Amino acid sequence: MTSLKTLQENWERFAQTDPLWSICADPRKRDGRWRESEFFESGRREIAAVMQCLNSLGLAPANGAPVLDFGCGVGRLTRALAEHFRECHGVDIAPTMIEKARAYHQAEPRCRFHLNESSDLRAFPDQYFGLIYSSIVLQHIAAKYVERYLQEFGRVLRPGGILVFQIADVLQGGVWFRLRSKIALRTRIKHLLTGKGPGIESRMEMNCVPERRVRRMLPANLRGVNLKIVDVRLTNSTEPAFNGNLVYLEREPEQGIVSKQYTVVRGA
């Protein structure tokens, strides 16, 4: 299991080397090929899709309540959320990501960025946010810390508030496909530990948390916090060539990592 310190070191390296590509790892955009305008426009489309999803569920985040973008990177989604909400906070574990996010958004007072190096959200008080969103983030964090962050989301979410998060669910495919994938994963871990092997992508950890475990992780009446899952959807977020354009899928892929988006509401 990767510690938060190692996770931070890895993502700090990504931030210093190829920050936009490390967030949306379309192979065609590697080595600084992302155009900033195109990168941030993908965030606008993603948030538009999420807002439409919430609308279809009859859910409307409180416009006046602050919003949290967990694992914000350079603020791709924070900027998009700021088009819908007056106060948007982005947190990330990598100092350089936060520095770049602040530089990108100097003229946007609605966006505020915070370095978060711990397994909690101590910078924020109880019941602070009306909406929490996290995409292509929790899949890179060990399950032990995912559970802790989910508990923290419940703590900082207002009663009636909405939590939307995406996470990798399971590796799909036949026996030989899954075996090859596990061997590739061990190779990537070896490269991480030795510092040898292929490039930056070899150190990007991917963890799957099945839905049944996610449901156990969510706090139910834990210190007065009750989170209820109201919707689960398949997404394209774990596709190897994901370019930031969120799509909801009708069925699980036959091979590859299944991605799920959870919509959760905190009880009053």
The token duo for 21 is 């590509």
pLDDT in tens, 142-179: 999 999 999 999 999 999 999 999 999 999 865 444 45
pLDDT of residue 2: 79
Confidence of residue 132 (pLDDT cuts 50, 70, 90): very high
**Is the dihedral angle over the CA atoms 212, 216, 221, 227 positive or is it negative?**
negative
pLDDT of residue 153: 97
pLDDT of residue 268: 78
More confident residue, 200 or 22: 22
The token duo for 187 is 């190779």
More confident residue, 221 or 225: 225
Instruction: Give the SS3 label for residue 265.
Output: strand
Q: What is the pTM of this model?
A: 0.90
pLDDT of residue 1: 62
pLDDT of residue 117: 96
pLDDT in tens, 237-255: 999 889 999 999 999 999 9
Q: What is the DSSP string of 186-233?
A: HHHHHHHHHS-SS-GGGG-------HHHHHHHS-EEETTEEEEEEEEE
Q: Rounded to whole angstroms, how far apart are CA atoms 205 and 192?
A: 9
**Position 189 pLDDT exceeds 80:** no
Structural domains for the chain:
4-171+206-266 (3.40.50.150)
Q: Rounded to whole angstroms, how far apart are CA atoms 79 and 36?
A: 12
The token duo for 86 is 């007056």
The token duo for 1 is 């299991």
Q: State the CB neighbour count (10 A cutoff) for residue 119.
A: 16
What is the residue-averaged pLDDT of the chain? 89
Phi, psi values for residue 133, rounded to 5°? -130, 135
Instruction: Give the SS3 label for residue 154.
Output: helix
pLDDT of residue 192: 38
**Position 234 pLDDT exceeds 90:** yes
Alpha carbon dihedral 81, 86, 89, 90, in 10-degree steps, equals: 30
pLDDT of residue 191: 42
What proportion of the chain, given as a percentage, has pLDDT over 90? 81
Instruction: Give the SS3 label for residue 88.
Output: strand
C-beta separation of 57 from 86 below 8 A? no
pLDDT of residue 205: 86
Stretch 222-247: mean pLDDT? 92
Please return the burial class of 183, using the count of CB atoms within 10 Å of its CB with bins 0-12, 13-18 and 19+: exposed
What proportion of the chain, given as a percentage, has pLDDT over 70? 87
C-beta separation of 167 from 209 below 8 A? yes
